[in-house]
Amino acid sequence: MELRKNYFADVRKDGLHEIGQPRPRLDSPGHVTGKTAYFADRNFPGMLHLKMVRSPHHHARIRSIDTSEAEKHPGVARVLTAKDVPHNVYTILILIQIGPEDETVLADGKVRWKGEAVVAVLAETERAAQEAAAKVKVDYEVLPAVFDMEEALKPGAPLVNEHHGQNYYLYDSGECRKVRFGDVEAGFAMADHILEQSYQSSPIEHAPTETTGCVVAPEGNDRFTCYTNTQAMFFTLDNTSIILQMPGSKLHFVGGTVGGGFGGKVDVIVEPIAILAAKLTGRPVSFIYSREEEMQVSSPRAAEKVVIKDGVMKDGRIVARKVTGYTDAGAYSRHSPYGAQKGAAHYPGPYTIPNVWIDTYCVYTNRTPSSAMRGFGVTIGDFALEVQMDKLARLIGMDPLEFRFINAYRDGDMKAHRQPTEGAALIECMQEASRAANWPVAEKYMAMSSYRKGA
Amino acid sequence: MAKVPVQFTLNGSEKAEFVESGTTLLHALRDKIGDTSPKGGCHQGTCGACSVIIDGELRLSCLTLAETCNGTDIKTTAGLAEGGVLHPLQRAFLDAFATQCGFCTPGMIMAAKVLLDRTPNPSREEVIEALSGNICRCTGYEPIIQAVLTAARANSQNAA
Amino acid sequence: MSLALRTFSSVKDANTALQVSGTRYLGGGTLVIRAANEGDVSVSSLIRVTDPGLSQIAVSDDKVWLGASVTMAAIARRPELAALAPAARAVGGPAIRNMATVGGNLFATAPYGDFAVALLALDATVATEDGEMPIETFLAGRDTSRAIVTAVGFSLPKAESFRFLKVSRIKPKGISVLSIAAHLQRTVDGSVTSARIALGCMADRPMRAKAAEKALLGCKLTPQEIAPALAAAVEGIAPITDPIASAWYRAEVLPVHLGRLLLT
């Protein structure tokens, strides 16, 4: 690896001992010897296995649930329904005051997506739990469902989630997150060209090799040790404390070793119900998603739709950008109100544009609830923005890399959210990319710097 | 539930257990015998995390019933290091940063070991083919391929 | 009820035991154990047979008999069966090929069962306890068949007359978008005198492309002459839709891949 020392020569420090040197990973010796302890490597005598009965419908009212046959099945220790969960309606981000609580641990009266948890069955073996789960009878009245964000926002669309009252998340700023900077209509009026394009993406599953799960052991002192592969240890502990109405001091979470997460293990899904089961049975409980559950039930990256309208001058300056973003939360919020908000913060991209208007909506549909995944709220936006940048460059007959130099943000520039730019390095990255990719740009761009004179 | 006896050699030592009929080798190894190095990633035969070597052949322990393994010789990644000294494959995986989350690693090492036992100097294509039943979601595979090639070179230098 | 395995030394005894409902035959385990792991509680009892004859490969003159327990790996490493090696190697990864059997592949629902596609193109004979039957008859009735498959027989094709292609999205291998096997007899000047083409993923089980077979007769394998056969390949297909590809996509790319196979 070669370090180019000509960039930021005045601020760089060269007395570093670690950069550029290989350092062994602390966890590798455990990995290569098979000694690393993942949550499922814990095994306790008398452990029960939890299997979930899930909704086969996208949207339905539950008329009745009959667990009597399942309870009588050999090997079954306990069957749990909504009434067993102390605080059944929750939302993860309530910890940072982002409500309302809108999701059930076990469905109560209604299911809002295909795969929603309805009844938990606990048995001596996985097989017995599967057999008993097949004997749970749920009588559903199927309701109209909506799967498309724009359909969901239309008047008269089926209401997905009564806790919201409408099919979008109501921010303190209203029906969407908004950014207003300059006068976007004036910018369009002065532009030489206007380009409006629409971009969309499908949900993406993280597909970690280790599926989501936890193993819970009741301790003698009325505490519960939860071995989990959560990526959000304290979020999970605190939410479990709320859901189970149990002081956090009763909960001991052991984790940190995750067999692939990529953001897919930040939801609070398996731990509360498994700890509740351990509490009600007094026995250790294992709840591990099957591969099918991991692929179909765990939260994916949200589907997104991004509409970008840009005004651009013949000389390459973007003078106005209007973005409407839609994030498909699925049936419940989880982390999606935050994801949509991140989009609002991100959409101008790393470019200095004097007139910006952004609206981002978090929309509810009867799809699998989405949540975090590597740069959620940003990644799909970047795809849309950079494809848009190439199209704009083509529209005005300019080299796409030079077009980005013209619009790149530099130190001191005011961003659309009224934060002055600091520590920018986009110009230097593009200069290096120009060399590495053998994509030459005019000398004046190679002479640019992220520092503006006088900044 | 009917228990059946299973008896096999695991990493050189005799094991005998009673398991419920229909128990997979993966469950028997992990829950009965306590060797948790094979991992359950899919239980479908798709991910390869549960790979073990039975009588010299690579097998998926999640799809193999324990009671069909009576009298066999089974090897897992947990038994690879001898006297605390890492096997060349383990050393190469460590040095090449071929592990990230580590969940696929024991299965990958088993698949690689079977390859090197039969083909001490494999081509890159042979390594890719040998690992084609093992899924890694972190590394993008390249460091793993390099680790196996490095281990092969280390082996041939030791043999020379 | 747990899953219980019963072991028999003879096919005859096992076949009797298999008649009890909830019983499935255990071959390599890649289908039935997978189903049980995924929560299929319809199977409560498994039957297996240890008769070593089921693992025999018999090659005499140009006639081959593969025992039902012969694995894909065993086929791939047998020099006389080189023509079939690409089809055997198309199944799974190395570990799966050490387990998956010829008999099991006959029961695999699409997108699996690539080897059975090759056997269909070869007009194989399936032997069961009840006697022998053409593979086409066997495949049509496999859902209700309760007779244990003991072997599959076929005439060994000349390497140049047998072609196999599996298309997947993951390299070096993944689950089938489709698979195609073609057994072609040609005159010295290259005209097709007989054609048997089998398709995978174009229905829930391997099927023949009979219209394409017919359209190929008398043709030389040139882009112009095979064009009618490619157009006819989609006749009668009902491709599966799964996470790998939609039925629409599979139907669209079938003629493209058939063309590539015929022109190689």
User: What is the least distance, in Å, from the CA of C70 to any CA of chain A?
Assistant: 29
Distance CA B89, CA B109 (A): 7
pLDDT tens, position by position, B44-74: 999 999 999 999 999 999 999 999 999 999 9
Which residues from A are below 8 Å from B77, CB to CB? 32-34
Q: Give pLDDT tens digits for C52-87.
A: 999 999 999 889 999 999 999 999 999 999 999 999
Flag if B39 and A209 touch (Cβ within 8 Å). Answer: yes
- A16: in domain: no
pLDDT at residue number A192: 98
Q: Are residues A311 and A367 in the same domain?
A: yes
Mean pLDDT taken over chain A? 96
Helices B142-159 and B88-95: angle between axes, nearest 10 degrees: 140
Angle, alpha carbons B24-C72-B152 (nearest 5°): 85
CA C29 to chain B, closest CA, distance in angstroms equals 6
- Tell me the C-alpha distance between A88 and A74, whole Å: 28
A182 and A216 housed in the same domain:
no
SS3 of residue B76 by DSSP = coil
B3-79 carries CATH number 3.20.20.150: no
Q: What does the pLDDT average to over C107-122?
A: 97
Q: Write out pLDDT tens, residues A179-195.
A: 999 999 999 999 999 99
**Mutate: best of B11, B19, B36, B52, partner A, most A CBs <10 A:** B36
Does pLDDT of A455 surpass 80? no
Buried b (16+ CB within 10 A) or exposed e, C130-153: eeebebbebbeebeebebbbbbbb
What residues of chain A lie within 8 A of the CB of B86, using their CB? 32-33
Same domain, C258 and C167: yes
Which pLDDT belongs to residue C184?
97
* Dihedral sign (CA A147, A150, A151, A152): positive
Calculate ∠ Cα A173-A413-A308, nearest 5°: 50
In eight-state DSSP terms, residue B82 is B
C163 in the same domain as C148: no
Task: Count other C-beta atoms under 10 Å from residue A245's C-beta.
Answer: 9
Question: Looking at beta carbons, which residues of chain A come within 8 Å of B102?
Answer: 27-28, 30-31, 36, 259
The verdict on A328 and A187 lying in the same domain is yes
pLDDT per residue over B93-150, tens digit each?
999 999 999 999 999 999 999 999 999 999 999 999 999 999 999 999 999 999 999 9
Handedness of CA A240, A241, A243, A245 (dihedral sign): positive
State the best of A121, A124, A131, A294 to mutate against chain C, taking most chain C CBs within 10 Å: A131
- Residue A240 clears pLDDT 80, i.e. is over it: yes
Dihedral (C-alpha) A383, A387, A393, A395: value to the nearest 10 degrees?
Answer: -150
Instruction: Please report the beta strands in B11-56, taking only residues with DSSP state E, as ranges in sequence order.
Output: 13-20, 51-54
Instruction: Note whether residue A28 is domain-resident.
Output: no
CATH architecture under which domain B88-159 falls: Orthogonal Bundle (1.10)
Any idea which residue has 């919020």 for tokens?
Answer: A333
Question: Which chains pack against B, by 3+ Cβ pairs within 8 A?
Answer: A, C
- What is the C-alpha to C-alpha distance for residues C223 and C262, in angstroms, rounded to an integer? 9
Residue C5 contacts A, CB cutoff 8 Å: no
Q: Do A130 and A246 fall within a single domain?
A: yes
What would the pLDDT profile of C132-156 be if each residue is shown by its tens digit?
999 999 999 999 988 999 999 999 9
Tell me the CATH number at A359: 3.30.365.10
For tokens 């071959």, the residue is C27
Option in B42, B44, B90 nearest A33 (CB): B90
Residues of C in contact with A290 (CB under 8 A): 37-39
A245, A269, A296 - which closes a domain: A296
Q: Where in chain B is the domain with CATH 3.10.20.30?
A: 3-79
Residues A129 and A45 in one domain: yes
Q: Are residues C164 and C259 in the same domain?
A: yes
Q: Based on the fold, state whether residues C66 and C131 are members of the same structural domain.
A: yes
Domain that holds residue A274: 41-143+207-296
Question: How many Cβ atoms are within 10 Å of C38's Cβ, its own excluded?
Answer: 14
Q: Which residues pair with A9 in a beta bridge?
A: none
Chain A interface includes C38 (CB < 8 A): yes
Q: What is the pLDDT at residue A24?
A: 87
Residues in chain A: 455
Does residue C212 have a pLDDT over 80? Answer: yes
DSSP assignment, residue B24?
A: B
Residues A187 and A247 in one domain: no
**Of A127, A134, A290, which has the smallest distance from its Cβ to C3's Cβ?**
A127
Share of chain A above pLDDT 90, in %: 93
Task: Provide the number of structural domains found in chain C.
Answer: 3
HEC states along chain A? CCCCCCCCCCCCCCCCCCCCCCCCCCCHHHHHHCCCCCHHHCCCCCCEEEEEEECCCCCEEEEEEECHHHHHCCCEEEEECHHHCCCCEECHHHHHCCCCCCEECCCCCEECCCCCEEEEEEECCHHHHHHHHCCCEEEEEECCCCCCHHHHHCCCCCCCCCCCCCCECCECCECCEEEEECCHHHHHHHCCEEEEEEEEECCECCCCCCCCEEEEEECCCCCEEEEECCCCHHHHHHHHHHHCCCCHHHEEEECCCCCCCCCCCCCCCCHHHHHHHHHHHCCCEEEECCHHHHHHCCCCECCEEEEEEEEECCCCCEEEEEEEEEEEEECCCCCHHHHHHHHHHHCCCCECCCCEEEEEEEEECCCCCCECCCCCCCHHHHHHHHHHHHHHHHHCCCCHHHHHHHHECCCCCECCCCCECCCCCHHHHHHHHHHHCCCCCCHHHHCCCCCCCCC
Give dist(CA B55, CA A277) in Å, integer.
42
- Which residues make Cβ contacts (< 8 Å) with residue C6, sequence separation at least 6? C17, C45, C46, C47, C48
Residue A1: pLDDT band (50, 70, 90) is: low
The answer to whether residues C173 and C83 belong to one domain is: no
Report yes or no: B47 and B111 within 8 Å, Cβ to Cβ.
no
CATH number of the domain that residue A281 is part of:
3.90.1170.50
Give the pLDDT band of residue C2 (cuts 50, 70, 90).
confident
Angstrom distance (rounded) from CA A217 to CA A274: 10
Same domain for C103 and C117?
A: yes
Which strands sit side by side in the sheet containing C149-155, from one edge to the other? C57-60, C63-67, C149-155, C125-128, C131-134
Q: Which residues of C fall within a CB distance of 8 Å from B27?
A: none
The CATH code of the domain that includes C110 is 3.30.465.10
CA-based nearest distance C33→chain A, Å: 12
Q: How far apart are the first and last CA of chain B?
A: 55
Interfacial residues of A (vs C; Cβ cutoff 8 Å): 51, 74, 125, 127-128, 130-131, 133-134, 290-292
Q: Which residues of B touch A (CB under 8 A)?
A: 1, 20, 22, 30-31, 34-44, 46-47, 49, 76-78, 80-81, 86, 89-91, 93-94, 97, 99, 101-106, 109, 135-138
Residues of C in contact with A50 (CB under 8 A): none
Q: What's the CA angle centered on C102, arms C97 and C105, to 5 degrees?
A: 85
Mean pLDDT of C26-30: 96
In this structure, the answer to whether residues C91 and C12 fall within a common structural domain is: no
Task: Kindly report the nearest CA distance between residue B19 and chain A, in angstroms.
Answer: 12
At A357, which amino acid appears?
Answer: W
Better pLDDT: A6 or B17: B17
Same domain, A252 and A336: no
Half-sphere exposure of A128 (CA within 13 A, CB side): 19
CATH code of the domain in which C191 resides: 3.30.390.50
A320 assigned to some structural domain: yes
Report which DSSP code applies to B57.
E
A52, A120 Cβ separation under 8 angstroms: yes
Is residue A288 within 8 Å of A213, Cβ to Cβ?
yes
Check CB contact of B130 with chain C, cutoff 8 Å: yes
Q: Tell which of A350, A378, A395 closes a domain.
A: A395
Rounded Cα gap, residues A193 and A393, in angstroms: 11
**pLDDT tens for residues A11-20?**
888 788 887 7
Contact A134 C41 (CB under 8 A): yes
Last residue within a domain, chosen from A395, A422, A445: A395
For residue B56 the two structure tokens come to 């010299």
A partners (3+ CB pairs within 8 A) are B, C
Chains in contact with chain C (at least 3 beta-carbon pairs closer than 8 A): A, B
- Number of domains composing chain A: 2
Q: What angle do CA A7, A13, A17 make, to 5 degrees?
A: 120
Exposure class string for A395-414: b at 16+ Cβ within 10 A, else e: bbebeebbbbbbbbbbbbbe
The C-alpha torsion from C25 through C28 and C33 to C38, rounded to 10°, is: -120
- pLDDT at position C1: 59
Rounded to a whole number, what is the distance in Å from the CA of A296 to chain C's nearest CA?
11
Domain contains A445: no
Q: Which residues pair with B37 in a beta bridge?
A: none
Domain range for C44: 4-49
Who among A74, A125, A290 is closest to C39 (CB)?
A290
What are φ and ψ of residue B135, in 5° steps?
A: -100, 130
Same domain, C63 and C18: no
Which residue among C129, C155, C181 closes a domain? C155
Q: What percent of chain C has pLDDT over 90?
A: 93
Q: Sign of dihedral through CA atoms A22, A27, A29, A33?
A: negative
Residue A323 sits in the same domain as residue A384: yes
Distance CA A318, CA A312 (A): 4
Task: Name the strand (E) or helix (H) holding B160.
Answer: none
Contact (CB<8Å) B44/C34: yes
Looking at the fold, whether C73 and C99 belong to one and the same domain comes out as yes
Chain A residues in contact with B44 (beta carbon < 8 A): 291
Select the residue of A128, A131, A292 nearest C38 (Cβ to Cβ): A292
- For residue B7, what is the enclosing H or E element? strand B3-10
The closest of C7, C181, C171 to C84, measured between CA atoms, is C181
Model-level pTM?
0.95
pLDDT per residue as tens digits for the range A363-415: 999 999 999 999 999 999 999 999 999 999 999 999 999 999 999 999 999 99
The DSSP call for residue B65 is B
CA distance C132 to chain A (A): 37
Alpha carbons A15 and C264: distance in angstroms, whole number: 60
A230 and A198 within one domain = no
All CATH 1.10.150.120 domain ranges of chain B, comma separated, are: 88-159
